[in-house]
Structure 1
Amino acid sequence: MTDQQQPVVEPFGFLAPTPPALEPAPAPDDTWEVPGGTAWVYLSDPDAGLRRPVILSDGFESGPSDLDRLWAGLERGDYAFFTELRRRGHDLVLVGYDDRSASILRNAETVTQVVFRAIGERLGDAPLTVGGFSMGGLVTRYALAKLEADGVDHQTALYLSYDSPHRGAWVPVGLQAIAHFLKATPALSRQINSAAARQLLWRHVESVDAEPVEDALRTEFLAELARVGSWPQRPRRIGVANGTGNGVGPGVPPDEDAVTVSGGWFSGTALRTQASGDKRLVARLKGLLSEAEVRTTGIPALDGAPGGTLETFGIAGDRLKLTGSTEIAVRSICFVPSVSAVAIGDLDDPYAEVDALDPYTSELDEFKLARTNEPHSHMSEALGSWILDRLPQ
């Protein structure tokens, strides 16, 4: 059996586990089909119509948005965010995409159409709130900024982002490399090489032996963002981070084996946590007919940085268990560093103690960090209620 015949099952890639069966979301009061996506409308008072729209965008993954997953994550966890939002008299407009891995610029066109539809259907003149979760914060940031650059009134008073990677997101180089190495599962490589992933990731590798760099699509996206003013200027800008501000990360030590394979098709493969320095080994990749070592130079120990976490090593290890004996020593690592989520620093210094920095150096007008390093996009009462308290009345 060749590497090309090894049946690793991975319908959701390395950035999200295979989801369990979910209770369906309640039926929306209205559904707007727009170019490139769908908006699901939940009114605070169905008899009163759309009065105080809060437009919130889905984030990055493979394939189309899933309303049931969105609803479960933001309503049926620790804090019933959507219920509380509508209880306070706001109307929810959830934006989903036909392809969540498509270019941020393309999906921003979908957001623009939803903004126009909300303005057209709104009863009264209450201003809009527009923002999103994870990549959705970048999509809406660009959409509003471009409307301003084009001289269009978006009638938005508040922009918000929820653990959005304003300065970039982090997926370990070794994990990106193994996505390309597993030839039998091309969907993994396609996910890492999708337009949105290239734009989101602080450092990207397009093949097993490529050097980690800022991808050309990210460079172009940042240039386009700068061209339209970088941020929307008219609304107040707020954001939250699922990571802490005290400089303490989730406790992931650098330069250690995170996933090791000791049997089966990929015996001898090891994925290691990122360490700073020159030529640091981050992966040993072995198949039946090929093998490779992956090393990095000049990348900080980002796996253990404070920030919203993802089970990226855990998900990869669970996939590899399907092929042979595999040990997972580290499951969760930093995905969106706190400095990125609150737009106050750069990933070159991911351990910066945000709490000690001048908050006015952030590009957000106001922000809040989590008490502990939580899963990326986790809806907690502390963060959710803080946002709701700032919605325009």
Structure 2
Amino acid sequence: MPKPNDPNASNEPHEPADSQIAAAFGAAARVTLAPGSKEARERPTEAPAPDDEWALPNGRAWVYLADTERGLTRPVILADGFSSGPSELNFSWEILECGPYAFISALRQRGYDVVLIGFDERSASILDNAQVVRAAILEATARRRGEHPLTVGGFSMGGLVARYALARMEHDGGAENDHQTALYFSFDSPHRGAWVPLALQSFAHYIRRLNAAFSNQMNSPAARQLLWQHIAEWDDSPETDKERVEFLAELERVGGWPSRPRKIGVANGVRTGEGNGIRGGERAFHGKGLAITGTRLHTQPAGQQQLIAQLRVVTLRKPQIHTSGIPEMDGAPGGTLEGFGILADELDKIPAIIGLGSDADIREHCFVPVVSAIALRDIDTHEKLYGPVTASAEEESELDEFLCASQNEGHTSVTEELCTWIMARLP
């Protein structure tokens, strides 16, 4: 072993071994995508104890009554959205109550009982988690005092889960499937598909041997069903995944939408066609540490054979990823997600000696385009993504009524603008 000041000793820093990186990665960081600010995701406010809690098959419901003496009389059922692992009451409370608008309090003050549905696994198939929503609906109708109709909806993926659950109950029929729901609503739900940058997906799979959490989330049943374009390996060509095709076919089989309730939805983006200012082909993320220098992730550019990523983690190889025929998705009008920012934040939790330090040059990207959230049109071309939502276009939406936000904002941002519009339409 070289001694101090030994002229034969090397002063060059040495990269840690794969096993060291994997151990540090697992101990300090868990890269999974979720909405909300960094503070909300990492330090959510502790929720007060619910008035009741229902154990459901593969999930549960937390119940906050408007009046504990009166009991459950006017249920508003809200399904959780996409992430990894089980639903967390504290996180749901943070998003719905402690953000821009205290939605739970506003509902209770108006005499509505709030039923928050949580899933044992948020990344499970939408079809499977729809059984949790169905069970919650039946539990609510059984416990309800009086005959006030239900409101059933969800945030992000939760809107799709609730949509399928209600449509399936109507399709199957019978007293055991009587949902007694007068209003369905979705809150920035990806009815026509969601978007996670292909650069992020490729990086997730590229680091799978070191930490599989991000890759597992991107390859989960729910992600495959939600995403317009998906890759299962870092060097795959993007495509609409088979699970999405099968999910859409199953949704169509049960009628596409429930027919009995009025169907409304809100979007966290503008109707004017104005994007969020993110341009295609810009560097969004880069590695700084010794083990990741050379990694660069770019926002999605349009055109043929466009560079979206150069990948390097530990090895000297720096493969490049190119795409063709994908529009500038990241800058589209709609609800945004801090995908690049989450990746940088989590990698920076790893001790600097491991060499995975990084920066997010652009923290966010469009996650649910406006035209997807209002079920207006597909998201496969620039014209469809960025075309304004005109008065005549409103008739083309599959929703009975919708509202777009006055600005492009964070995905599932619970704002007074959107929430008061929904509450004005509650039965």
Matched, 1:367 2:393: no
The match for 1:222 is 248
C-alpha distance 150-33 of structure 1, shift in aligned 2 (>3 A)? same
Q: Per-residue deviation at 1:352?
A: 1.8
Deviates more, 1:315-324 or 1:199-208: 315-324
C-alpha distance 145-367 of structure 1, shift in aligned 2 (>3 A)? same
The match for 1:10 is 29
For structure 1, the residue ranges without an aligned partner over 5 or more in a row are: none
Give the secondary-structure state (helix, strand or coil) at the position aligned to 2:247.
Answer: helix
Inter-partner Cα distance in structure 2 for 1:326 and 1:27:
39
The match for 2:417 is 382
Q: Per-residue deviation at 1:325?
A: 4.7
The match for 1:48 is 70
Inter-partner Cα distance in structure 1 for 2:18 and 2:282:
26
2:325 is aligned, of 278, 298, 301, to: 298
Matched, 1:100 2:122: yes
Identical pairs, percent: 52
Inter-partner Cα distance in structure 2 for 1:51 and 1:97:
24
TM-score scaled by length of structure 1: 0.97
Matched, 1:80 2:102: yes
Inter-partner Cα distance in structure 1 for 2:366 and 2:273:
13
Matches within 5 A, 1:202-217: 202-217=228-243
Inter-partner Cα distance in structure 2 for 1:99 and 1:187:
14
Q: Per-residue deviation at 1:64?
A: 0.5
Give the secondary-structure state (helix, strand or coil) at the position aligned to 2:117.
Answer: strand
1:341 is aligned, of 373, 396, 409, to: 373
The answer to whether the 8 A contact 1:129-1:391 is kept is yes
Counterpart AA for 2:142:
G
C-alpha distance 46-325 of structure 1, shift in aligned 2 (>3 A)? closer
2:291 is aligned, of 239, 245, 265, to: 265
Counterpart AA for 1:155:
Q
Inter-partner Cα distance in structure 2 for 1:224 and 1:363:
17
Matches within 5 A, 1:162-181: 162-181=187-206
Inter-partner Cα distance in structure 1 for 2:357 and 2:45:
34
C-alpha distance 262-25 of structure 1, shift in aligned 2 (>3 A)? closer
Inter-partner Cα distance in structure 2 for 1:186 and 1:357:
46
Inter-partner Cα distance in structure 2 for 1:89 and 1:284:
54
Q: Per-residue deviation at 1:262?
A: 3.7
Inter-partner Cα distance in structure 1 for 2:237 and 2:19:
24
The match for 2:9 is none
Matches within 5 A, 1:176-325: 176-182=201-207, 183-289=209-315, 290-321=317-348, 322=350, 323-325=355-357
For structure 2, the residue ranges without an aligned partner over 5 or more in a row are: 1-15
Counterpart AA for 1:11:
R
Inter-partner Cα distance in structure 2 for 1:84 and 1:52:
14
CA RMSD of aligned residues (A): 1.4
Inter-partner Cα distance in structure 2 for 1:83 and 1:262:
44
The match for 2:113 is 91
Deviations 1:236-270 (A, max 9, x none): 00000001111011100111111122431011110
Inter-partner Cα distance in structure 2 for 1:287 and 1:388:
49
Deviations 1:44-93 (A, max 9, x none): 11101111111100000000011111111111121111111011111111
C-alpha distance 304-4 of structure 1, shift in aligned 2 (>3 A)? farther
Deviations 1:92-135 (A, max 9, x none): 11100110000000000011000000110111111110010000
Inter-partner Cα distance in structure 1 for 2:245 and 2:293:
37
Q: Per-residue deviation at 1:14?
A: 3.6
The answer to whether the 8 A contact 1:10-1:188 is kept is no
**Aligned residues between the structures:** 392
Inter-partner Cα distance in structure 2 for 1:283 and 1:101:
26
Matches within 5 A, 1:139-178: 139-151=161-173, 152-178=177-203
Counterpart AA for 2:396:
T
Q: Per-residue deviation at 1:291?
A: 3.1
Deviations 1:308-346 (A, max 9, x none): 001111112223444345332211110000000000011
Inter-partner Cα distance in structure 2 for 1:149 and 1:73:
33
The match for 2:6 is none
TM-score scaled by length of structure 2: 0.89
Give the secondary-structure state (helix, strand or coil) at the position aligned to 1:368.
Answer: strand
The answer to whether the 8 A contact 1:258-1:328 is kept is yes
